[in-house]
Structure 1
Amino acid sequence: MPGVSGVLALVENALSDSPQAFVPVRDARDARDAYQIAFTQLQAFRGQDAANDVIRQAVIQARKPPAPESNQAQVPNWKVSETCKELDADLAGWYLRPSLKALGQLLANHPGRLGRTVLTTNFDPLIQVAVQTACVRTIFAVDQSRIGWHDLSP
């Protein structure tokens, strides 16, 4: 997923036909303020749907590229809800940083200690992907005869 500057670029692009809307973002004191101001401006000028679109655009960047021999489009159409559901279910298609993999393993292997809810200061659907990936790997390691789809919800 893109960092703050990448997300700011997505917001600026969404506001491209209203350049004055992005001026307060450029005037921000630091990246954290710029990020908050950017989403405030985006919601004020374009509404919550536009903010959700920017978030989806950022998240889709965490997808692994499809294999060259596959017939998949290079960039999935994240505006179609069925496509989003398919992408969510395709755990192997996401790039997870080692830190996210480790967090997923901790949460999956120690739900009694760590609980079943993760509160973050930002959107991060990859935490759920990391937990689901760790759960599937744990199930496969314990009982390989159960290979297939597993409902991992509590």
Structure 2
Amino acid sequence: MEFKRPRTWEKFFVINNLDKSSGLINISYSGDPEQYVDCGTISSYVKNARGERTYNFPASSSLQTYEMLDGINLFSIQRKMSLEGRINVIFQELTPDKTQVTVNTKYILTKQGTAIHAGDGARGDFSDTISFGTGNGASFPINNQAQSTECIPTGNLEKSILSLIK
């Protein structure tokens, strides 16, 4: 069995540990969560003296600026999302010519940003982190948007790792 390593792979994944005797490879991913985690969609509709604006974007987007009305107050939101993935790839020999490969990931998702009040420029920072494993999900706590954001893995991180094995 061979592990092929395309150039783009080096930009996103780091091998932390390789233990041939146990068949374990521990890999880290750090970066944009959008293709690896589904957190639904954020929608915000704003209507004021400047006109009407609608914002719709994936909640797992790595960087987004949008506006939000909480009744009367208009806020400009600068929101960032980042993913740290801890991936265990386990090779288990079933027969001399057959190997089972299992990929399990611990997802650590961080949402942070700033809300700026349009009227007086007052700023409020926010930051939350959740973690979950392959096949599971988790929700960010309810925030000033009065809704929680539930995130689940897409399976693409595991598929990316498996596609590197030949």
**Is the radius of gyration larger for structure 1 or structure 2?**
2
Which one has the bigger helix percentage? 1
Tell me the TM-score normalised to structure 2 length: 0.21
Tell me the TM-score normalised to structure 1 length: 0.22
Relative contact order: is structure 1 or structure 2 higher (C-alpha 8 Å, sep ≥ 6)?
2
